[in-house]
Amino acid sequence: MKEDQEKSNGTDQRVRVEFETTAEAYLELLDLRGIEYFFANAGTDFASIIDAFAHRRSQGKEFPRPVTVPHETPLVSMAHGYYMVTGKPQVAMVHVNVGTANGLGGLIGASRARVPILFSAGRTPITESGQPACRSGYIHWGQESFDQAGMLREYVKWDYELRNPAQLETVVDRALLMAMAEPKGPVYLTLPREIISSPFGKGEFRSLHRFDLPTFYPDPEKIREAAGYLMKAQFPLIITSAVGRSPAAVQFLTDLVDAAGIGVVSINPEYMNFPMSHPGHLGFSPEKVLSRSDLVLVVDCDVPWYPNKTTPPAAARIVQIGIDPYYSDYPIRGFPSDLTLQGDPARVLFEITKSLTGPRGIKAETVASRNKVLKKIHEEVMKGYREQAERAAHDSPLEIAWVSHCVNRILGDDTIVVNEPDNAMKEQPNHRPGRYFGTSHAGYLGWGIGAALGVKLACPDKTVIATVGDGSYMFCVPSACHFVSAAQQLPILTIVYNNQCWNTVKRANLSLHPSGWAARTGHFPLCDLEPTVPYEKICEAFGGYGERVEHPDQMAPALDRALQAVKVEKRQALLNVICRHP
Domain stops at, among 175, 206, 237: 206
Residue among 372, 475, 482, 382 nearest 420 (CA): 475
564 residue type, one letter: Q
The Cα–Cα gap between 73 and 480 comes to: 9
386 occurs within a structural domain: no
User: Cβ contacts of residue 539 below 8 Å, gap of 6+?
Assistant: 478, 482, 494, 545, 546, 572, 573, 574
CA gap 7, 32 in Å, rounded? 15
Whether residue 544 is contained in a domain is answered as: yes
Q: What is the pTM of this model?
A: 0.95
Tell me the CATH number at 413. Answer: 3.40.50.970
Same structural domain for residues 431 and 297? Answer: no
Looking up residue 242, the CATH number of its domain turns out to be: 3.40.50.1220
Q: What 3-state class would DSSP assign to 289?
A: coil
Into how many domains does the chain fold? 3
* Spatial distance between the Cα atoms of 113 and 186, rounded to a whole number of angstroms: 10
CA distance 404 to 425: 6
Which residues span the domain enclosing 288?
A: 220-380
Co-location of 438 and 302 in the same domain: no
Please report how the helices 364-391 and 400-408 are oriented relative to each other, as an axis angle in degrees rounded to 10.
Answer: 120
Structural domain ending residue among the three candidates 357, 380, 403: 380
Residue 564 DSSP code: I
Per-10-residue mean pLDDT, the chain, length 582: 39 82 96 97 95 96 97 98 98 97 97 98 92 91 94 98 96 97 97 95 88 92 97 98 97 98 97 96 96 98 96 97 97 97 98 91 96 98 94 94 95 94 84 92 96 98 97 97 98 97 93 96 94 96 98 97 98 98 93
Amino acid at the residue 280: G
Whether 401 and 539 share a structural domain? yes
The b/e string for 364-394 (b: 16+ C-beta within 10 A; e otherwise) is: eebbeebbeebeebbeebbeebeebbeebee
Q: Does residue 561 lie within any of the structural domains?
A: yes
Residues 297, 222: Cα–Cα separation, whole Å: 13
Counting runs of H as helices and runs of E as strands, what totals does the chain give? 19, 20
> Cα–Cα distance between 413 and 430 in angstroms, integer?
9
The length of the chain, given as a count of residues: 582
Contact at 8 Å (CB) between 42 and 184?
Answer: no
Question: What is residue 418's three-state secondary structure?
Answer: strand
Question: Does residue 292 form part of some domain?
Answer: yes
Laid out side by side, the sheet with 317-322 consists of 263-266, 236-240, 295-299, 317-322, 339-342
Are the CB atoms for 97 and 151 separated by under 8 Å?
Answer: yes
**Residue 492: strand, helix, or coil:** coil
Q: What is the pLDDT of residue 2?
A: 37
| DSSP secondary structure of 20-36 | EEHHHHHHHHHHHTT--
172 part of a folded domain: yes
Both 375 and 481 in one domain: the answer is: no
Handedness of CA 549, 553, 557, 563 (dihedral sign): positive
* Among the listed residues 40, 35, 73, the one whose alpha carbon sits nearest the alpha carbon of residue 450: 73
354 lies in the same domain as 479: no
Residue 126 DSSP symbol: S
Residue 421: DSSP 8-state: S
Q: How is 74-106 classified by DSSP, letter by letter?
A: HHHHHHHHHHHHH----EEEE-HHHHHHHHHHH
Strands (E), 420-484: 436-438, 463-469
Specify whether 350 is located in the same domain as 248: yes
Is the peptide bond preceding residue 531 cis, with omega within 30 degrees of 0? yes
Please tell me whether residues 435 and 287 are part of one structural domain: no
Judge if 353 and 443 occupy the same domain: no
Domain end among 206, 228, 248: 206
Taking alpha carbons only, the member of 490, 291, 262 closest to residue 362 is 262
* 297 three-state secondary structure: strand
Residue 333 lies in a domain: yes
Is 212 among the domain residues?
no
User: Domain check: are 47 and 184 in the same one?
Assistant: yes
468: left (phi over 0), alpha (psi -120 to 50) or beta: beta
Q: Minimal CA–CA distance to 263: which of 232, 305, 234? A: 234
Residues 198 and 243 grouped into a single domain: no
Could you give the angle at the alpha carbon of 88 between the alpha carbons of 82 and 94, nearest 5°?
Answer: 65
Q: Are 471 and 502 in contact (CB under 8 A)?
A: yes
Instruction: Assess whether 433 and 403 both reside in one domain.
Output: yes
Residue 64 lies in a domain: yes
The pLDDT, as a whole number, for residue 154 is 97
Residues 269 and 161 occupy one common structural domain: no
Strand 573-578 versus strand 263-266 pairing type: unpaired
Give pLDDT, residue 200. Answer: 94
